Amino acid sequence: MVDILFFLFGSMIGSFLNVCIVRMPEEKSIVYPASHCVHCQKAIAWHDNIPIFGWLMLGGKCRSCKGSIAFLYPVVEILTAVVFVLFYKAFGLQLVLVPYLFMASCFIVATIVDLKHRIIPDEISIGGMFFGIAFSALIPALHSQEFTQVLLSGFIAGLIVLMCLGLMLIYPIFCKHLMEGQEPGDDREIKLLVACSLFVLSFINFFAPHIPKIILPYALSLSASLSGYIIGGGIIYVMGLMGDIIFKKESMGGGDVKLMSLVGAFLGWKLAVLTFFLAPFFGAVFGIIEKIRTKESTIAYGPFLVAGALVSMFYGNAIISWVLRGGIYGN
């Protein structure tokens, strides 16, 4: 019975995700106007807007003008419903299920929009990252509470930021042509956010021994999330800068960096780093096929980051343990 409820709830969320997928790339409101036919602009009645069944009852055509309704709509609703059931099966009725379902919904929108438009909306990546940080501050179970791990993640976050600063200093020397049209303050807000995040996690880590025990788990979880988003986004940003310098052309989209920040905010730095290393394995096969089929050398990378994040989420700790034991060369 609970499975059915999650399937129905997931299909309703999927219906909303369809709105996000269609409107966000065009920078339209996801609230107003209400659902309407893209052909005749007439509002869709509530009984025709029932997830999955509405499309089936209409035969995939608008009731008013008989224009076709994309098959993607029921696909997204079914996919979201199935994902909700699978996540419920994996985590049960625990509090962590709420942020994980939110993250999965962001992944669905990011994947489909990136495949269709080669962009990842900031509302999904940056907005999702902020939600990941907020969820982490409210639900300590999202992250490890080992103080040594939290300290290590803060140290690595600082190193990543130093690497970014170093590469940004030499970037104009090698890639001045890629900076044309960019305003000097374009990324000022991001720099300020990272600086504030480093200050907060440093403050938490330094004063952790003096923080009341009732608050400490929430503070450590917040610190782990802040470190996670900095390391997750930072590691792919560093690789992008290095790729630009080496190949003299843009090698990584900003949307991918922000999506990795979302992953780090929810899953922490270890699984974010694992996601970074797993994604190329998923993208390589697709990239080779696309190169043969279309002669294009660039692909939408967001879906493969999502695939890597999901594998990391469910199997990441086992993979990391296997690697630390020596992988295929271990005893």
Q: What is the largest CA-CA distance in the chain?
A: 67
* pLDDT reported for residue 46: 73
135 neighbors 99 (Cβ within 8 angstroms): yes
CA–CA separation, 68 and 38 (whole Å) = 9
**Euclidean distance between CA atoms 256 and 236, whole angstroms:** 8
∠ CA 50-51-53 to the nearest 5 degrees? 75
Residue pair 129/229 in contact by the 8 Å Cβ criterion = yes
Per-residue pLDDT at 179:
67
Backbone angles phi, psi at 35, to 5 degrees: -55, 135
Identify any residues that bridge with 68 across adjacent strands, giving them in sequence order.
61
**Distance from C-alpha of 52 to C-alpha of 8, rounded to nearest angstrom:** 10
**SS3 state at 36:** strand
In order of 61, 106, 140, 288, the CA distances from 25 in angstroms are 24, 14, 34, 27
Question: What is the tens place of the pLDDT at every residue in 23-35?
Answer: 999 888 888 877 8
pLDDT at residue 218, as a whole number: 95
Q: What is the pLDDT of residues 241-293, one digit of tens each?
A: 888 888 777 767 788 999 999 999 999 999 999 999 999 888 777 776 665 66
DSSP-derived secondary structure for 207-253: HGGGS-TTTHHHHHHHHHHHHHHHHHHHHHHHHHHHHHHHHSS--S-
pTM: predicted TM-score of the whole model, two decimal places = 0.91
The predicted pLDDT at position 309 comes to: 96
**Rounded distance between C-alpha atoms, residue 309 and residue 143, angstroms:** 15
Q: Write out residues in the chain with pLDDT < 50, as ranges.
A: none
Rg (the chain; Cα; Å): 22
Task: Please tell me the distance from the alpha carbon of residue 312 to that of residue 149, in angstroms, as a whole number.
Answer: 18
Q: DSSP code of 52?
A: T
Under a CB-based contact definition with an 8 Å cutoff, are residues 9 and 93 in contact? no
pLDDT in tens, 92-120: 999 999 999 999 999 999 999 999 999 99
Q: Indicate the burial class of 232 (C-beta count within 10 angstroms; 0-12, 13-18, 19 or more).
A: buried
